[in-house]
A and B are shown apart, each in its own frame.
Chain A
Amino acid sequence: MDIVLYANSPTSDFLSDLANALFAGSGLATAYGLITVDSNGSDRDSTFTISTTKVAGKLLVYGSVTASTNYTLSQVKLLASNGKTYFVASPSSGGGSVSTGTKINIYFYITVTVSGSISYGSIGGSAYPVNIADYVYDVLMGVRSPSDLAFDGIFFDFRDVNNTPIGVTVTPSKTKSGNTINLSASAIPNANWSLRNIGVLKGQTVLWMYSLNQAVTGSAGSTVSISASINLGAL
């Protein structure tokens, strides 16, 4: 019997820790355990022997528990090594009845993505993830430090009139309020330019990108600025 939980359940603790990691490079902890919860909201069975692996662009956290009593499985919690609960997944309807001795295999798939937009006048565009998901998964797996999430560069992918790259990387200014991070950055190309893509970097790694639907052009010496707000929420 399979129970499929379609959940959008990152907790405020998880979102807060992720925001701190993006802003300051600290806070986000590793996946640590899984707990089943009955229909009364009581924790029932738990395991702290879990495995984590990346599967098709998702992070799979796997663990199994044996039901210690008869109950209706209504939620599954994913715990972090800092003692916080990072996800609480509930079934869209009902739950699953388990009886004493039932082995419960828990496949907890986590997806991290980036969505959003960019605009310049009437020209629109969109934001999309590049390496941010892998980096978040790596932190949850414990193979990467949360400091690798603290973006520290904005790359303006300028091209000259011959479409030769004359990109510029600058350090953004960042502010944080709650789980919202704001960034701003400016660059001054030294040749006539066109611009479509802007990357948010950690070191040399692009975490996510903004891409305009069409190129913007300008002359040498002009100041090109970007300001963005970053919000965290459920999938």
Chain B
Amino acid sequence: MSDKYKDVFPLIAGALAGLFIYLSRKKALGAQELNVTVNESVSIMTESSLVIGAPSDVVINDGINVLTDANLSVTAPSPPPPPSEINVIINDGANISTSASLSVA
């Protein structure tokens, strides 16, 4: 052993001995523990309804179900007045007039 450690060895040995004594006394007094258990649940309940004017209903259940009643009304533009129209009916014709005489000899 080197001469330079001759002076500090007794100090280290003394410190270790003091720590041993402390730890021994602490064990003798009893350790404290805290256990935490968490049981948690989260429930999200949602209900939605969408109304697009009465009487149309939109109900959403387990997906999307759309029930809708709709009435479509189309008003045609007023028809233009019928064009003035006339029918011209013509009875015409030609006659072939023929006179014949028969003779027997």
Partner of A111, one of B88, B93, B97, B105: B93
Of the residues A87, A99, A107, contact of B88 by C-beta under 8 Å: A107
Decide yes or no: A109 and B96 within 8 Å by CB, A102-B85, A216-B102 being known contacts: no
In angstroms, Cα B94 to Cα A2, docked, is 24
Q: Which of B9-46 contact A (CB under 8 A)?
A: none
Q: Which residues of A contact B87 (CB under 8 A)?
A: 1-3, 105-107
A99, B104: Cβ atoms under 8 Å?
no
Smallest Cβ-Cβ distance to A225: which chain B residue:
B103
Q: CA A129 – CA B97 in complex, angstroms?
A: 10
State in angstroms the CA–CA spacing of A68 and B101 once bound together. 54
Chain A 1-21 interface residues, beta-carbon cutoff 8 Å to B = 1-10, 14-15, 18
B99→A208 contact, CB < 8 A? no
Pick the interface stretch among A46-54, A112-120, A163-171. Answer: A112-120
- In the complex, chain A residues whose CB is within 8 Å of the CB of B90: 4-5, 7, 76, 87, 89, 106-109
Please determine whether B94 and A15 come into contact, CB atoms closer than 8 angstroms. Answer: yes
Interface status of A127 (Cβ within 8 A of chain B): yes
- Chain B residue numbers with a CB within 8 Å of A227 are 100-101, 103
> Which residues of A lie under 8 Å from residue B101 when comparing CB positions?
118-120, 226-228
Indicate whether B86 reaches chain A with its CB closer than 8 angstroms.
yes
Contacts of B105 in A (CB 8 A): 222-223, 225
Map CB proximity to B onto A37-66 as digits: 1 under 8 Å, 0 otherwise. 000000000000000000000100000000
B contact face: mostly helix, strand, loop, or mixed: strand
Q: A23 interface residue, CB < 8 Å from B?
A: no
The answer on a CB contact under 8 Å between A117 and B95 is no
Partner of B96, one of A1, A105, A113: A113
Bound-state CA distance A108–B87 (Å) is: 10
| Contact of A232 with B by CB under 8 A | yes
Distance between A156 CB and nearest chain B CB, rounded to angstroms: 9
Q: How large is the interface on A (under 10, 10 to 19, 20 to 34, 35 or more residues)?
A: 35 or more
A233 to chain B, nearest CB (A): 6
Which residues on the A side are within 8 Å of B98 (C-beta)?
114-116, 127, 208, 210, 228-231
B88 lies within 8 A of A116 (CB): no
Inter-subunit contact A109/B91 (CB<8 Å): yes
Chain A residue, CB-CB nearest to B98: A116
List chain B residues, Cβ under 8 A from A112. 93-96
Indicate if B84 sits at the interface (CB-CB under 8 A). Answer: yes
How many Å from the CB of B63 to the closest CB on chain A?
Answer: 61
Asked whether any CB of chain A lies closer than 8 Å to the CB of B92, the reply is yes
Nearest A residue to B92 by beta-carbon distance?
A7
Q: How far is the CB of B81 from chain A (nearest CB, A)?
A: 11
Q: List residues of A (102-148) whose CB comes within 8 Å of B's CBs.
A: 102-120, 127, 129, 132, 136
Instruction: Give me the interface of B with A, judged by CB distance under 8 Å.
Output: 83-105
Residue positions of A touching B, CB distance < 8 A: 1-10, 14-15, 18, 22, 36, 58, 73, 76, 78, 87, 89, 96, 98-99, 101-120, 127, 129, 132, 136, 195, 198, 208, 210, 212, 216, 218, 222-235
Pick 17 A–B contacts, CB within 8 A, sort by A. A8-B92, A103-B83, A104-B85, A104-B86, A107-B89, A109-B89, A109-B90, A109-B92, A109-B93, A110-B93, A112-B96, A119-B99, A119-B102, A226-B102, A229-B100, A231-B97, A235-B95
